[in-house]
Amino acid sequence: MTRSRLVVTASFAAVGLGVAVALGALVLDPARAAVGPMPGEGLALPSGTRFVVGIDVARFTSSPMYQKHAAKADLTPEAFAELEEKTGLRPDRDIDQILIAGAPPAADGPARGAVLVFGRFDRYKLSRAIEADGEKKNVSWKTIDGYTVYVFGEGRAKGRPGALAFLDDDTLVLGPQATVEEVIANRNGGGKGLAENAELVRLLGTVRPGSTFWMVGDQTLLSRMPNNVPSPMGGGQMSLPALKSLVVTGDLDPEMALHATGEARDEAAARQLADVVRGMTALIQLQGGQNPALQSLATAFSVNHEGAKVHVNARLPYELLDQLKAMGAQRKAAPPAEPIQ
Amino acid sequence: MSAEAKPLPPPVPFLRAAKAVFDLSLEEMVWSRKSLVMAGLLLLPVALALLFRLVADLKHAPAGIDLYGLVVAMYYLRNALPLASLFFATALIADEVEGRTITYLLSRPVSRASILCGKFAAYVVTGLTLTLPGIVASFFLLVPIRGFAGLAAFVPDLLRDLGVAALALCAYGALFALLGVLLKRPTIPGLVFLIGWESLANLPGWLPRYTVTAWVRSLVRHRPVDEGLAELFQTTLPTGEAIAVLVAITILGLAGAYGIFSRKQFVLDQ
Amino acid sequence: MPIYDQRYRRYEARNPLRELRFWPITREALKLVIARRAFLMLLLVAWVPFIARTIQVYVVTRFPEAGRVLPVDGRLFGEFLSGQLGFALLVSVFGGAGLIANDLRTGAILVYLSRPLTRVDYILGKLCALLSLNLFVTLAPALMLWIVAVSLAPEQFATLKLLWLPPAIVLHALVIGLAMGLMALAVSSLSKSARVAGLAFAGLFIGLEIARGVLRGMFRTPETGLVSLQGNLHALGNALFGIQHRFFNQPWPLAALALLVMAALSLWVLRARVRAVEVVQ
């Protein structure tokens, strides 16, 4: 074999090996049952869910943003000491992921939703802590399908009772009692749960795993959003085309990064929406003049549309956010302009 | 005794001739100083990724898939692959002319189509040899910077990127092969095309459709934040259309190159 | 003198040739490259941004409100020179790639160095040719733009406050011309083919710039810009003309140092490659 042939063969063998390893990872991945970034347990959420939000707590708490604000908001490990002693839980250490699922309220009903918390819980200590507060906080508990459900405020005149249940040693569900019971029923095979909601499952599949936080919402949720926004040029309103779905992912380390994908009804609507965002960006750029903070803000966004989808990318370094905050404070402190006589 | 004209030997069949040219050209292309330069360009991201793994604070690093996306979309597809194509594809015939060896090639009983196809195939194999390992290595060095969990979710992206890189090599290669046989000095027009014309991809409306890069960019899922005008006017074109256009560019480019090469008379400078 | 002391002695040029010995090389190189019509076209096209900027200055002097969108001050010249880098690249590839490569291919380098010329004369001659071409697309239009700006808006540009502009323009254009010229010549000396040398220089110029982009994405520090010739030239220009840029913001002393290192490397390559004997391996 000549030297050239050897180089070609070695190169293709390396690529083949790499692809084989990658395919192996794809086939053997333990998280295959998951949908996008959502663990398999999330499929027990109610089928009527219209939006799901996910937060990777480990990434969130290690981000510069959390570190900066934790001390101010009393979220330091010392502050959690009392809670940890009582319940065995230190949120920043023991919670891995939070899923918030919900649906807008029906015409005259309350909002619906559930929260799934994944982590490592001292189940005994946590249960004792809840039961110890039982009388004081009107907590009762019952067993449904083998799961202990703690109900808060049962029988009170105002509002619906809330509930909490351990789905297993690592998963906790919270929410209105009816929703928690529905989640338990879904988990036991009594209902199909989120898997029945084909549209939301499809959207979840498009979310990029590995983000610090993410959100998906379908048409029902978005139809309640305002269709008009104030025009950036001032004077009047601008109509926005309705969105069929919205997927947002974001990271907080080393800077704030957001990626939003909205699906409009058709390509023309997507173009219109993209143009609105571009217009706003261009306006910031023009208004920024030689102000580096505003210039940076304008260039921190990128917009593009792909068929009926609009993608908005934003990368906001924390220094830029601090500069903008300082500018806002300066503007507030400045005396209002004299009216023209 | 009458001197009878000796009959010309029958031309070598197309495939056999193309394979012979392919073998010859591959030897010249892969193991050469030129390829070493291009290998440096195409494998640079691997060195950068290694440096990153060794030096950076991975706990506070950006998401690995974002960095890998930056390498694929910004480095390979927008810049390095078009440059490598310009480097190799314009030289397919120009090297033979410059080295004054075109005479030997054209005086053999092989068709010009087989010469062009053999050389183009050698270019594609050389390009793939230098590019694909870089992409695969970048994937494994950058994507799992926060652990291997979730790596599987990005495997389809890797496969897609490898395919797009191959398609980009073919499309740009055919275009520059055409430029190489059409012009005596294709370097400057090629660079003007890459630096100037391809910038239309960053403008609004239908302008991106007139470039090759916009079609190539549309095929990958990575959308890194740009540093200039592209931030305002990024356009993603439909996938099916993009594949069709790139295949069409490849076929038309090669057909055009063959059309010119088959008729061209080569007068070597003395 | 004893025979063992008869060592190699450098050629001492004849008196009339001692001054500006590199000039004939520069002159011939320029003649060759300017004889190409396509190159003249390129030089002409390189002046199009000058026309655009002149219109900008005119519009802003007539309609000051336009200055909010297209501000006109000292920074205009820095932005203009940075914009000319693309043309400087094309001119360096077109005019510079073959300067040494062709001599190496044809063996003309042996003829040159067997004349009353030293290696320094040869390199200086080639460098001056490339430098003058680069200055034609950077310094000349930038100075012309300054003259136009001073003539159109003397109250704005003909002030003591902006007296630093012409020296800054000259300095930045010279740095661009020298840095690009030296690197183009170094790459040219590494190949016997002008085409390969041209593409290799373009690859190096663009490759280092995209490497900067990737490194910036990875490390998020301005110092990553130091790897790029283009980035360093931008950074130096930004410092000279007071431009605040989001990406080319590495400290200018470091950018200047990086440019010096690049120039030294180019000179080292030239020293190694430009020689009167060819080592056949």
**pLDDT class for C133, splitting at 50, 70, 90?**
very high
- Give a yes or no: residue C117 inside a domain: yes
DSSP symbol at B2: -
C103: closest CA among C263, C278, C268, C281?
C278
User: Cβ of B203: how many Cβ atoms within 10 Å?
Assistant: 17
Taking one residue from A and the other from C, the number of pairs with CB-CB distance under 8 angstroms is 15
| Closest CA of chain C from B71, distance in Å | 6
Chain B residue closest to C89 (CA)?
A: B191
**Domain enclosing residue C151, as ranges:** 20-273
Which residue would you say has higher pLDDT here, C18 or B2? C18
- Determine the average pLDDT of the residues in B24-38: 87
Average pLDDT over residues B119-134: 95
User: How close does chain B come to A57, measured CA to CA in Å?
Assistant: 14
Q: How confident is the model at residue C6 (pLDDT cuts 50, 70, 90)?
A: low
Query: Which DSSP helix (H) or strand (E) runs through B158?
Result: helix B155-182
Side chain identity at residue B262, one-letter code:
S
pLDDT of residue A30: 60
pLDDT averaged per 10 residues, chain A (length 341): 87 94 81 71 86 87 80 69 78 86 73 85 84 76 86 74 87 89 84 82 81 85 66 62 85 82 85 80 70 74 80 82 81 63 47
pLDDT of B246 > 80? The answer is: yes
Distance (Å, whole) CA B259 – CA B253? 10
List the domain boundaries for chain A: 34-194, 225-327
Give mean pLDDT, residues B145-173: 88
Number of H helices, E strands in chain A: 12, 14
Average pLDDT value for residue range B88-108: 85
In a domain, C106, yes or no: yes
Q: Residue C92: what pLDDT?
A: 93
Best of C42, C192, C199 to mutate (most B CBs within 10 Å, chain B): C199
- Phi, psi for residue A314 in degrees, rounded to 5: -140, 135
What's the number of domains chain C is made of? 1
The pLDDT, as a whole number, for residue A107 is 61
Could C71 and A299 be called an inter-chain contact, meaning their C-beta atoms sit closer than 8 Å? Answer: no
The SS3 assignment for B150 reads coil
pTM of the model: 0.76
Under DSSP, is residue A109 helix (H, G, I), strand (E, B) or coil?
Answer: coil
What is the C-alpha separation between C7 and C16, in angstroms, rounded? 26
Partner C contacted by A24 (CB < 8 A): no
Q: Which of A240-249, C29-38, C262-271 has the lowest mean pLDDT?
A: A240-249
pLDDT 10s digits, C146-156: 999 999 888 88
User: CB A11 to CB B130 under 8 A?
Assistant: yes
Predicted pLDDT at A341: 47
Judging contacts by C-beta atoms under 8 Å, the chain A residues touching residue B125 are: 8
- In three-state form (DSSP H/G/I as H, E/B as E, the rest C), the secondary structure along B30-94 is HCCHHHHHHHHHHCHHHHHHHHHHHHCCHHHCCCHHHHHHHHHHHHHHHHHHHHHHHHHHCHHHH
Task: State yes or no: ipTM above 0.90.
Answer: no
Residues paired with residue A114 on neighbouring β-strands, in sequence order? A101
Question: Residue A11: what pLDDT?
Answer: 93
The predicted-structure confidence for C35-70, as pLDDT tens digits, reads as follows 888 889 999 999 999 999 999 888 888 877 766 666
Contact (CB, 8 A) for B88 and B177 = no
AA letter at B21: V
A-chain CB neighbours of C71 within 8 Å are 289-290
Neighbours of chain C (3+ CB pairs under 8 A): A, B
Distance CA A322, CA A332 (A): 15
Tokens of B33: 């100083």
Which residues does chain C have within 8 Å of residue A255's beta carbon, measured at their own beta carbons? 220
Ordered DSSP codes for chain C: --GGG----PPPPPGGGSTTTTHHHHHHHHHHHHT-HHHHHHHHHTTHHHHHHHHHHHHHHH-GGGGGTS--STHHHHHHHHHTHHHHHHHIIIIIHHHHHHHHHHTHHHHHHTSS--HHHHHHHHHHHHHHHHHHHTHHHHHHHHHHHHHH-HHHHSSGGGTTHHHHHHHHHHHHHHHHHHHHHHHHTT-S-HHHHHHHHHHHHHHHHHHHHHHHHHH--GGGGGG-HHHHHHHHHHHHHT---SSS-S-HHHHHHHHHHHHHHHHHHHHHH--SS----
Contacts of C246 in chain A (CB under 8 A): 292, 295-296, 299
Better pLDDT: A208 or C235: C235
**Interval B2-19 mean pLDDT:** 78
- Residue C87 pLDDT more than 60? yes
C14-49 CB burial, b ≥16 within 10 A, e <16: eeeeeeebbeebbeebbeebeeeeebeebbeebbeb
Neighbours of chain B (3+ CB pairs under 8 A): A, C
Residues of A whose CB is below 8 A from B65 = 208, 210
Name the pLDDT band for C136 (thresholds 50, 70, 90).
very high
Asked whether residue C251 is domain-assigned, the answer is yes
User: Which pLDDT score, from 0 to 100, does residue B1 have?
Assistant: 46
Chain C residues with CB-CB distance to A254 below 8 A: 220
Q: Give ∠ CA B146-B150-B155 in degrees, rounded to 5.
A: 115
What confidence score (pLDDT) does residue C274 get? 85
Instruction: Answer yes or no: is C109 within a domain.
Output: yes
Q: Is residue C15 part of a domain?
A: no
Residue of chain A minimizing CA distance to B32: A4
* Beta carbons of B132 and A15 less than 8 Å apart: yes
